[in-house]
């Protein structure tokens, strides 16, 4: 059965009748009908009507090497022919997760040498939560099990991911979170800095909120702090430079493990393999997924530091945790081929030295001055545009989210895919973008801002 035998309307009707979408208001979807993306190539996606759209979100923060990579299809095909599946339970394994683990140990920070696989970022964070609590139990401190996270964090959509995350709308539908997770303020200077407070001081204050939470719970009860180096889904919130060194200092002072969630920032987005390296952070675990395969296969890898990994080996005893698809041979083959492309094409260096700085300059010079833009910011190839009604006071338009959705809708109509979260536009393009692609994106975004302003004023 091929979809070409169906009209767009037929596909939309079937979609509405049978397909429940993630993060979607289904009443709303029935009215509007879904946008059908049918193919993609390089930096572009195409819908069923043949409309070409520049993908400013790399799918969902994942297609770092761009679309149409036949090497990845071939890697999957070859592996499927040879061995489509076997598990990694019960002292078995297959060659591709073994080789991928070696590769990941090479590119990860020096003290990280072990990997635990899943199929999604949410699963990897579930593993991370279980693992840090298991670690403290092995160390004879099972009461050290509180995890500190942040408001508006996104750590996935399973029960553990939602509990770790700080999205109030998600938590309100949870009906009971995983216990012993507490949330503190996020390092979001644009809205939370006091008038006159420097970026540096704000970063220290936001880190101090973690110390306060540790002291309130008692350090002997706190297992770990978890954070995205740059909060992604929450609005590409880039912390001040003072934040992470202070968080690291606090975690060390109270012997609290540091868990980084690099599901978005991993594999080149910040101009290094991991943001931990861009920002000089030494975490105990790094959660990764998405760009590990550039989204061509579902795969996550929890990178586990030597401290935790040695305890597993030295203390022994089974860690009662794993997924059928942990270390899936096909997904791992695709990941190996994907990492090879990233290296061979020098995509990370390109983001660090060329496209990242150019993207930042373009946003600052050609977008920040727009009358409905309050701030632009970027790190590597990850950026945000704050939509405001009034530049001076930073007052927002009424009805949170409406203005950003207007910008997004005009952008898509104008051939530019970007995402709206709250009153913030977010961008996370494939790392193959060139200066020319950035110019095209900026031109389309500027036009969308003009059209949205016309509607909103």
Integer angstrom CA distances of residue 180 from 52, 155, 185, 362: 47, 16, 17, 44
155 near ligand PLP (CB under 6 A): yes
Segment 178-237, which members bind ligand PLP (CB under 6 A)? Answer: 228, 232-233
Please pick, from the candidates 226, 257, 264, 281, the single residue that binds ligand PLP as defined by CB under 6 A.
Answer: 264
Q: Which is nearer to ligand PLP, 60 or 215 (CB)?
A: 60
Please pick, from the candidates 121, 235, 374, 383, the single residue that binds ligand PLP as defined by CB under 6 A.
Answer: 121
In the stretch 43-82, what mask flags binding to ligand PLP with x, by CB under 6 A? ------------------x---------------------
Distance CA 444, CA 147 (A): 42
H-type helices in 290-393, by residue range? 306-315, 329-344, 347-350, 356-366
Q: Which of 278, 343, 277 is nearest to 65 (CA)?
A: 343
Q: Which stretch binds ligand PLP (CB under 6 A): 258-266, 353-361, 399-407, 419-427?
A: 258-266
Helix or strand run (H / E) with residue 212: helix 199-217
Min. distance of Cβ 365 from ligand PLP in angstroms? 29
Integer angstrom CA distances of residue 327 from 23, 97, 277: 28, 5, 25
Min. distance of Cβ 155 from ligand PLP in angstroms? 5
Residue 46 tokens, joined: 């195409």
Q: Which is nearer to ligand PLP, 114 or 125 (CB)?
A: 125
Q: Which stretch binds ligand PLP (CB under 6 A): 10-18, 120-128, 133-141, 391-399?
A: 120-128
Q: Which is nearer to ligand PLP, 154 or 397 (CB)?
A: 154
Helix 329-344 with 95-107: angle, nearest 10 deg: 40
Residue 437, number of CB atoms within 10 A of its CB: 20
Distance CA 416, CA 57 (A): 10
Min. distance of Cβ 234 from ligand PLP in angstroms? 9
3 state DSSP class of 124:
helix
Cross-strand pairs, 260? 227, 286
Q: Which stretch binds ligand PLP (CB under 6 A): 74-82, 126-134, 257-265, 387-395?
A: 257-265
Min. distance of Cβ 152 from ligand PLP in angstroms? 12
**Sign (positive or negative) of CA dihedral 209, 254, 226, 283:** positive
Sheet holding 146-150, edge to edge: 112-118, 300-305, 285-288, 257-261, 222-227, 146-150, 181-184
Q: Which is nearer to ligand PLP, 131 or 193 (CB)?
A: 131
Residue 99, number of CB atoms within 10 A of its CB: 14
Residue nearest ligand PLP by beta-carbon distance = 121
Q: Which is nearer to ligand PLP, 263 or 348 (CB)?
A: 263
Q: Which is nearer to ligand PLP, 79 or 122 (CB)?
A: 122
Residue 111 tokens, joined: 């003290």
Min. distance of Cβ 275 from ligand PLP in angstroms? 11
Min. distance of Cβ 19 from ligand PLP in angstroms? 18
Please pick, from the candidates 113, 122, 326, 424, the single residue that binds ligand PLP as defined by CB under 6 A.
Answer: 122
Distance CA 134, CA 152 (A): 26
**Sign (positive or negative) of CA dihedral 417, 422, 427, 428:** negative
Q: Which stretch binds ligand PLP (CB under 6 A): 100-108, 115-123, 132-140, 315-323?
A: 115-123
Segment 285-314, which members bind ligand PLP (CB under 6 A)? Answer: 289
Please pick, from the candidates 120, 294, 428, 437, the single residue that binds ligand PLP as defined by CB under 6 A.
Answer: 120
337 near ligand PLP (CB under 6 A): no
Please pick, from the candidates 55, 126, 211, 261, the single residue that binds ligand PLP as defined by CB under 6 A.
Answer: 261
For 4, half-sphere exposure in the C-beta direction (CA atoms, 13 angstrom radius) is 3
Cβ–Cβ < 8 Å for 388, 374: yes
Q: Which stretch binds ligand PLP (CB under 6 A): 74-82, 256-264, 328-336, 411-419?
A: 256-264
Please pick, from the candidates 263, 275, 333, 416, the single residue that binds ligand PLP as defined by CB under 6 A.
Answer: 263
Sheet holding 44-47, edge to edge: 37-41, 44-47, 52-55, 416-417
Total residues in contact with ligand PLP, by rule CB under 6 A: 16
Q: Which of 373, 359, 329 is nearest to 428 (CA)?
A: 359
CB burial of residue 436 (10 Å; 0-12, 13-18, 19+):
exposed
Min. distance of Cβ 64 from ligand PLP in angstroms? 14
Q: Which is nearer to ligand PLP, 12 or 122 (CB)?
A: 122
Positions in the binding site for ligand PLP (CB under 6 A):
61, 120-122, 125, 154-156, 161, 228, 232-233, 261, 263-264, 289
């Amino acid at each position: 059965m091929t979809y070409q035998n169906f009209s767009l309307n037929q596909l939309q009707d079937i979609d509405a009748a049978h397909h429940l979408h993630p993060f979607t208001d289904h009443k709303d979807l029935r009215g509007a009908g879904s946008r059908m993306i049918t193919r993609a190539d390089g930096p572009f996606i195409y819908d069923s009507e043949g409309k070409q759209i520049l993908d400013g979100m790399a799918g969902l923060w994942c297609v770092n090497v761009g679309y149409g990579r036949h090497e990845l299809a071939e890697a999957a095909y070859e592996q499927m022919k040879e061995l489509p599946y076997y598990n990694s339970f019960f002292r078995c394994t297959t060659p591709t997760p073994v080789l991928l683990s070696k590769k990941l140990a090479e590119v990860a920070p020096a003290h990280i040498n072990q990997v635990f696989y899943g199929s999604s970022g949410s699963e990897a964070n579930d593993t991370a939560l279980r693992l840090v609590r298991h670690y403290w139990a092995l160390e004879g401190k099972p009461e050290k099990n509180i995890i500190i996270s942040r408001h508006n964090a996104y750590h996935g959509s399973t029960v553990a991911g939602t509990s770790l995350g700080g999205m109030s709308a998600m938590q309100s539908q949870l009906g009971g979170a995983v216990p012993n997770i507490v949330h503190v303020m996020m390092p979001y200077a644009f809205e939370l800095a006091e008038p006159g407070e420097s970026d540096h001081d704000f970063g220290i204050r936001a880190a101090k909120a973690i110390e306060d939470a540790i002291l309130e719970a008692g350090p002997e009860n706190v297992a770990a702090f978890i954070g995205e180096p740059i909060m992604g889904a929450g609005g590409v919130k880039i912390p001040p430079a003072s934040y992470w060194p202070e968080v690291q200092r606090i975690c060390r002072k109270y012997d609290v493990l540091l868990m980084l969630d690099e599901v978005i920032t991993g594999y080149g987005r910040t101009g290094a393999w991991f943001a931990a390296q861009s920002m000089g952070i030494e975490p105990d675990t790094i959660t990764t997924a998405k760009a590990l395969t550039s989204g061509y296969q579902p795969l996550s890898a929890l990178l586990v530091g030597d401290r935790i990994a040695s305890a597993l080996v030295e203390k022994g005893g089974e860690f009662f945790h794993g997924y059928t698809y942990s270390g899936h041979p096909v997904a791992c083959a695709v990941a190996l081929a994907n990492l090879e492309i990233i290296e061979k094409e020098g995509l990370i260096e390109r983001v660090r030295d060329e496209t990242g700085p150019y993207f930042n300059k373009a946003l600052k010079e050609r977008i920040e001055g727009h009358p409905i833009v309050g701030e632009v910011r970027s790190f590597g190839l990850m950026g945000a545009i704050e939509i405001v009604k009034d530049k001076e006071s930073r007052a927002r338009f009424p009805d949170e989210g409406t203005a950003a959705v207007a910008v997004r809708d005009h952008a898509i109509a104008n051939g530019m895919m970007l995402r709206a979260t709250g009153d913030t536009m977010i961008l996370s393009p494939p790392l193959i973008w060139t200066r020319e692609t950035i110019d095209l994106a900026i031109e389309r975004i500027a036009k969308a801002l003009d059209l949205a302003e016309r509607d909103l004023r």
